[in-house]
Amino acid sequence: MPKLKNQLPKMCKMGNYAVVNYQKKKTVLGRWGSPEAKQSYARFITNLQNNPVDASRPVTATDNRGGLVSELVALYLDHVKASNVHHTHYSHCHVLLTDFVLPYYGEVFADEFGPKCLKFVRKQMVKSKRFCRNLINDYVRRIVAMFSFGVEEELCSAQTVAALREVKTLRKGAEGTFDHPPRKPVPDKEIRRTLPFLTPTLQAMVQLQWLCGFRPSELCQMWVGAIDKTSDPDCWIYDLSKHKTAQHISGRKIYLSEPARKLIEPYLKGKKPNDPVFTVDESVRERKAAKRAARKSKLTPSQLARDEYRAANPQVFSETYNEKSYYKAIRRAIKVGNKTLPSDKQISPWYPYLVRHSTATYVEETQGLDEAQATLGHTSANMTRRYSKAQQAIQKRVALKQTNPFVETEEEALNPAQPPQDLDVIDVE
């Protein structure tokens, strides 16, 4: 059967996206099966049918005005997912672009997305009350970064990006915005009171995080092969190849002191280099063993039968903790502890990220700002000051040590000398 020359191109699936092939060019319509992709395909076919004479010119979404915003979003999300950046970057971009950009400007050409469009998207984020002011400003910068990527892919012009960069950030107190209170370091006594309600594995993780200033993600993904025990006779060295600021600091090494080594050693026995140091399975076994040891009644035959079944069919857990499960374990421990403690001795809620602030504050107070910056792995001291709250404590110590150098005795300070009353006035003419 001869091939029809005037047959309309079909919508095809390419990975997770819908595309259409016409005149040896591929146009991305959006996510496969989404209403936006179907609308883009219908508009594509309508434009093609309305321009049957000039068939040599591709009547597609990628004409002289560049590509659609939906096409740019689809390509940019793939780019972010494939890039070697922190995994939270993709999550933030996905929420931002699918919830606030595509619903309003998915069918608009990228070069038609100007500063007013960007301010409209920002206004919708403010109205949603989902994000604080700083996060909204960060999301605006991510949108500009996406259009900068579009210049590389020839989906929009450099003038569009330059215009978007002129949008000013939201200042503190802007209408409809809110700011979270600054994070404060968790007091050591609160950590100390929480430890008895944690499993030994989680106790070691919390204490190690305080000693080394780990981010929760860095601590949870700690693996045996990255710990160097031979290079330095004084300290073990943990080579942290993947971390949040890896694009700024190519290599980051954490020196493990004697207290840190004592916490880690029990969890290195019998493990291979590719094994994680802390596992969920060990923590669950410790918790069950503690419950069994605290049991007062005898085991029933049904309980013994369940134990045999569980031994033959062990429950499968995720290999390591992550930021969320680590936080939930601490929150659960605080909740359990508060049930047993009197009302006047309740444990105040805290979460793992605050432990890093505690480390920064302690190191700056006892050793200095440069030491705190090196411990946390920051590229600038200003970032360390955001984590550390030692400046006020240092300022208080300075104030308590101050003396007035302009008085000699305490009596003179209480009764300052009065200026003479009968001064000769010199008339200068």
Of 42-51, 104-113, 177-186, the one with minimum mean pLDDT is 42-51
* pLDDT band, residue 63 (cuts 50/70/90): very low
* pLDDT band, residue 339 (cuts 50/70/90): very high
Q: Do 109 and 68 contact (CB within 8 A), yes or no?
A: yes
pLDDT at 56 (0 to 100): 34
Residue located via tokens 């190519």: 250
The beta-strand segments (E) located in 102-146 are: none
Percent of the chain with pLDDT over 90: 29
Helix (H, G, I), strand (E, B) or coil at 12: strand
Q: Is residue 243 predicted with pLDDT exceeding 60?
A: no
Q: Is residue 177 predicted with pLDDT exceeding 60?
A: yes
Q: Do 313 and 228 contact (CB within 8 A), yes or no?
A: no
pLDDT at 153 (0 to 100): 87
Helix (H, G, I), strand (E, B) or coil at 159: helix
Query: 367 CB contacts (<8 Å, ≥6 apart)?
Result: none
Distance between CA 155 and CA 71 in Å, rounded?
8
Q: What is the pLDDT of residues 219-232, one digit of tens each?
A: 988 888 889 888 88
The residue among 244, 200, 195 whose CA lies nearest residue 218 is: 244
Q: What is the pLDDT of residues 395-419, one digit of tens each?
A: 677 777 767 676 665 565 566 656 5
**Highest mean pLDDT of the ranges 77-86, 198-207, 274-283, 380-389:** 198-207
How confident is the model over 350-376, as a mean pLDDT?
86
pLDDT at 48 (0 to 100): 74
> Across all residues in the chain, what is the average pLDDT?
81
pLDDT at 162 (0 to 100): 94
Q: Is residue 420 predicted with pLDDT exceeding 60?
A: no
Q: Is residue 190 predicted with pLDDT exceeding 90?
A: yes
pLDDT at 124 (0 to 100): 93
236-238-241 Cα angle (round to 5): 160
Q: Do 360 and 369 contact (CB within 8 A), yes or no?
A: no
pLDDT at 53 (0 to 100): 44
pLDDT at 421 (0 to 100): 57
How confident is the model over 17-34, as a mean pLDDT?
77
Determine the distance from the C-alpha atom of residue 59 to the mean position of all C-alpha atoms in its chain, rounded to a whole number.
Answer: 42
* pLDDT band, residue 1 (cuts 50/70/90): very low
pLDDT at 151 (0 to 100): 92
Q: 277 or 22, which is more confident? A: 277
Percent of the chain with pLDDT over 70: 81
Q: Do 366 and 188 contact (CB within 8 A), yes or no?
A: no
Distance between CA 240 and CA 251 in Å, rounded?
7
Of 8-22, 47-61, 163-177, 293-307, the one with minimum mean pLDDT is 47-61
Query: 241 CB contacts (<8 Å, ≥6 apart)?
Result: 226, 251
Element (H, E) at 361: helix 352-366
* pLDDT band, residue 121 (cuts 50/70/90): very high
